[in-house]
Structure 1
């Protein structure tokens, strides 16, 4: 029987998220949907990840509308898929089952077919509820094993745990660069995780290489193991940033993978996944069937070229690939031979030859060259750019090398989590904070983020290696692991908005779910939506006086500067206000929680006194230096 390969298209979710910061708006999505109906992809990843957050935060659009409009346009031609973080769904805190149940009920009703479920710690217990509820409502559970690597340390980045007796496990003496003595992330580790997920009821398994760090030689070992030991379809997902992507996908195909993830030409390569057009050329040469209508793909790609121009301000690469349609364009003989060379090298597991051929192909078509920084650092590209952005905010970009050196030790101190959202952000933010601490003569962990504390405490789940009890005591105040208690979960407030006609902030179950999953962003989005509805129905508008007052607050110009002001340390969104007018506070008390750089930051007062005025509200976006509360 002729081998058949299924394609999951990532263009409308992971593709645009990786390449253009998830800024593709609904009108741009609508322009390509008629062609997608004819493209006949096995599946289209269109939702989840950063999409629900970003469409509210940056585009002022409803994420449920995004899913439903795509479902209406594409119908049942391709399965619609999304990505979620196990018990965390799209947030950072684990959610109770009632919210996970409600989320999947509404997601499937809105058109979702497959949920790719992963956990940032590869803690299988954390995917259990999501598997249960996606299947309960007739969806498919795609469980992802997150690929990661064991860290390497130089002499300056050794973790605090070396002093606590863990050096026997993780270090060899007298080496400038110290690999882990006993690797954790072995082939058996990944296969065993997949088997545990299969036992929970997984309908398919994905090898999820979120950083593009898996080399073809590792793919050549893992795919056969997964195929031999698991009786469900295997999907392979990777990125091109460090330069392994195209060769890794070709290797997965040659070793019998069932599904691969690709992106359409003008959104592909670089930080995204390989181009489907290149995979089509490989499959044609290999005699492998791909039930994709490449004429429809060419029509999508033509529209994507114009959309990419419209997204120019969010395009960090600004490097368009050379136009190519495999149905109509002939390859030059020297490039055609590179495809043959890559196939032959993959078949004999010659990784160096394979990568040379793939890089020659990508160079000819003007795809971005491998990013050596990401390859050498062995971290996700998004984590790297996040760290750069954070250091720019503190005018301390000069210490980036030191922050990068600290990543392995911070990661090991926290139990060696894989670097994927949210743990990549947690470790990256803490590495930056620790570098700043050391630069300023403070202890390495002088100001751990709320999420780092939760990770070390055990609230995110079981880490791949145990956290040292003494380190946990130092960071959290307890030596014992403390799992997250979902019975203590507090639902988000759904206040009545007197200024918008006395309606509640969230008006139905889907909007309530948005509040639960994205408290700060959804609150701002829904307030604005309710206000516009009120104005449209009543003909009323905010008074000029109210607008002037709001503008002054947003610009950081308090109306009556009589007291002391707690100001915003960095741009972000107000996640929670914990004080009210008339409350007494002491220096060091928490007054609100700011969401910035995808992290929750407690904002503490430097003054003692009485709260005279709270200048912001939940969901509001604030700039650096803006007044938050006034204290007298």
Structure 2
């Protein structure tokens, strides 16, 4: 067992994304930076994921400015971490090396020390460019293997497959699978390996086996990232700790639990009792937590649970005796290899900290919470909510047909949407795959990379019209246009490389954000001309209102809604679909 463990705090990216739809604004982030600087976490995950998209879309803030603000506040006290999806970076489309290099170079130059790189299919070819460019820019490559489990097929499913000639594969996602992937990534220059469990599906038995195997095979640090959605999170991190994990990801107490990561405070209690040092200042963390509780009130519109854990300042507070005993009992069970017993006790600890009840649907269906939420929304729109069980039953079939992709954004959404489409088709008396989404067809074609299990060529022919795999081709990639903004005196939409990257990665959202930014800059530089233009617009509006027909007040209100530039989530950055159930698309 290690005598020192590194803690990566994920509160300002994964924590707020999982709990509050990534709505922390820059002032709220700045309010905790001084105490974060004093806390001395090994690393802080602060960028990537849904952050760049959301801060533009909902907060009208510049994501590069967000990153620079945090770097200025933290300095070198902790390493800053960002998240990117390999060749896809943030969205669905594969990007050419020129875009990937530009993103990695600018992210590292702006303050990112560690780039966590993953691929939804665990296709390592999709990660190679990011690894190379991050290291060339002077950053550390944290190469993540996405954790998932094999689909469960009933006895009836297996019998039907036997008679239909469809082969159900043996278990794919074994310890050996993850170790093999990790060793390949280490050979490519990975500075650390993360097992990235977005849905919280890794139970303590699996966590213990996997961490032990990885530590036996690797010479680089191993990190476990998981969530509490189905109730495994705390117990699984404890199991990883007693089996030698080097780094664990946690969130500050008031932003932990449920769809988010386990709490630093809970994990620190276990570390102290195991005699494992962390180097983190508990008093500083307590100050962060107190401020975050105020921020959580400010974010109440996005808080789906609204039940805070009790405060725990580890620099001075003692646990209640009955809770302290739970920690001792869970620890004794984990050290003794009794992981199921430890799990039950850890869930009692979670109750004591007001964590939401484990999500039983996620636990039994073995799907991410966000995938379930989105499928329910799709069924409600079709007025077919009563067919949820049919959808859950057909997910393994759709997943098998599509090559057993791990259920992580975007593949979880692609499989979930297609499962609903299949059930709608069945209820209309049509063929299972009558309605196929564009993204599902691209997954089957091979546009996202190689799937863990080969797609049946005949099925590919049915869906795509060809039996041959069609890999992505970035040679046809066309950069996003960068037109002048007439209302801003003809200034270009993107004024530098960082803004051009925003256009490439988030075309619709960045276009709107940058256009507004250019106009505001022009108004600030030309106040008299801006005032005249606004006065003229007001006169025109008044004239239109005066000339409207009876009932014109209603017509005027209606026109406001018709002309409003409403822009729903378009899949450019669906990361939080996975990690924030109930906030799909926002």
Could you state the TM-score of these two structures normalised by the residue count of structure 2?
Answer: 0.90
Task: Note the C-alpha offset of 1:144.
Answer: 0.5
Query: Aligned ranges for residues 162-181 of structure 1 at < 5 Å?
Result: 165-167=165-167, 169-170=168-169
Q: Quick check: 2:145–2:178 contact (8 Å CA) kept in 1?
A: yes
Task: Note the C-alpha offset of 1:450.
Answer: 1.8
Q: Quick check: 1:157–1:406 contact (8 Å CA) kept in 2?
A: no
Q: How far apart, in 2, do the equivalents of 1:553 and 1:202 lie?
A: 55
Q: How far apart, in 2, do the equivalents of 1:506 and 1:535 lie?
A: 17
Q: Quick check: 1:224–1:256 contact (8 Å CA) kept in 2?
A: yes
Query: Aligned ranges for residues 205-216 of structure 1 at < 5 Å?
Result: 205-216=193-204
- Within the alignment, does 1:556 sit opposite 2:552 as a pair? no
Query: Aligned ranges for residues 92-103 of structure 1 at < 5 Å?
Result: 92-103=92-103
Q: Deviations over 1:254-285 (max 9, x none)?
A: 11111000000000111111101011111111
Q: How far apart, in 2, do the equivalents of 1:423 and 1:159 lie?
A: 27
Q: Deviations over 1:138-174 (max 9, x none)?
A: 000000111110001347878997776333x34xxxx
- SS of residue in 1 equivalent to 2:249: strand
- Within the alignment, does 1:293 sit opposite 2:278 as a pair? no
Q: How far apart, in 1, do the equivalents of 2:219 and 2:409 lie?
A: 28
Which one of 402, 414, 423 corresponds to residue 435 of structure 1?
Answer: 423
Q: Deviations over 1:577-606 (max 9, x none)?
A: xxxxxxxxxxxxxxxxx659959xxxxxxx
1:125 is aligned to: 125
The structure-2 alpha-carbon separation of the partners of 1:550 and 1:404, relative to structure 1 and needing over 3 Å to count, comes to farther
2:449 is aligned to: 461
The structure-2 alpha-carbon separation of the partners of 1:234 and 1:2, relative to structure 1 and needing over 3 Å to count, comes to closer
**Structure having the larger proportion of residues in strand:** 1
Task: Note the C-alpha offset of 1:361.
Answer: 1.1
1:418 is aligned to: 406
Q: Which runs of 5+ in 1 are unaligned?
A: 171-181, 559-567, 574-593, 600-622, 624-632
- Within the alignment, does 1:510 sit opposite 2:516 as a pair? no
2:582 is aligned to: none
- SS of residue in 2 equivalent to 1:459: coil
Which one of 337, 346, 362 corresponds to residue 358 of structure 1?
Answer: 346
Q: Quick check: 2:148–2:197 contact (8 Å CA) kept in 1?
A: yes
Which one of 485, 488, 495 corresponds to residue 483 of structure 2?
Answer: 495
1:303 is aligned to: 291
Query: Aligned ranges for residues 113-262 of structure 1 at < 5 Å?
Result: 113-154=113-154, 165-167=165-167, 169-170=168-169, 182-262=170-250
- SS of residue in 1 equivalent to 2:467: coil
Q: Quick check: 1:379–1:419 contact (8 Å CA) kept in 2?
A: yes
Task: Note the C-alpha offset of 1:435.
Answer: 2.3
Query: Aligned ranges for residues 329-478 of structure 1 at < 5 Å?
Result: 329-478=317-466
Q: How many residues align?
A: 558
Q: Quick check: 2:444–2:460 contact (8 Å CA) kept in 1?
A: yes
The structure-2 alpha-carbon separation of the partners of 1:196 and 1:56, relative to structure 1 and needing over 3 Å to count, comes to same
Task: Note the C-alpha offset of 1:327.
Answer: 2.4
The structure-2 alpha-carbon separation of the partners of 1:157 and 1:490, relative to structure 1 and needing over 3 Å to count, comes to farther
Task: Note the C-alpha offset of 1:71.
Answer: 0.2
1:5 is aligned to: 5
- SS of residue in 2 equivalent to 1:555: helix
Q: How far apart, in 2, do the equivalents of 1:557 and 1:280 lie?
A: 53
Could you state the TM-score of these two structures normalised by the residue count of structure 1?
Answer: 0.84
Q: Which runs of 5+ in 2 are unaligned?
A: 545-554, 576-584
RMSD: 2.5
Query: Aligned ranges for residues 572-583 of structure 1 at < 5 Å?
Result: 572=568
Q: How far apart, in 1, do the equivalents of 2:8 and 2:159 lie?
A: 40
Q: Deviations over 1:383-438 (max 9, x none)?
A: 22222333344444333332222211111111100011111111112222222233
Q: Quick check: 1:160–1:409 contact (8 Å CA) kept in 2?
A: no
- SS of residue in 2 equivalent to 1:153: coil
1:528 is aligned to: 516
Task: Note the C-alpha offset of 1:364.
Answer: 1.5
Which one of 266, 274, 287 corresponds to residue 262 of structure 2?
Answer: 274
Task: Note the C-alpha offset of 1:365.
Answer: 1.9
- SS of residue in 1 equivalent to 2:5: strand
Q: Quick check: 2:215–2:222 contact (8 Å CA) kept in 1?
A: yes
The structure-2 alpha-carbon separation of the partners of 1:98 and 1:40, relative to structure 1 and needing over 3 Å to count, comes to same
Task: Note the C-alpha offset of 1:357.
Answer: 1.0
The structure-2 alpha-carbon separation of the partners of 1:156 and 1:66, relative to structure 1 and needing over 3 Å to count, comes to farther
Q: Quick check: 2:6–2:278 contact (8 Å CA) kept in 1?
A: yes
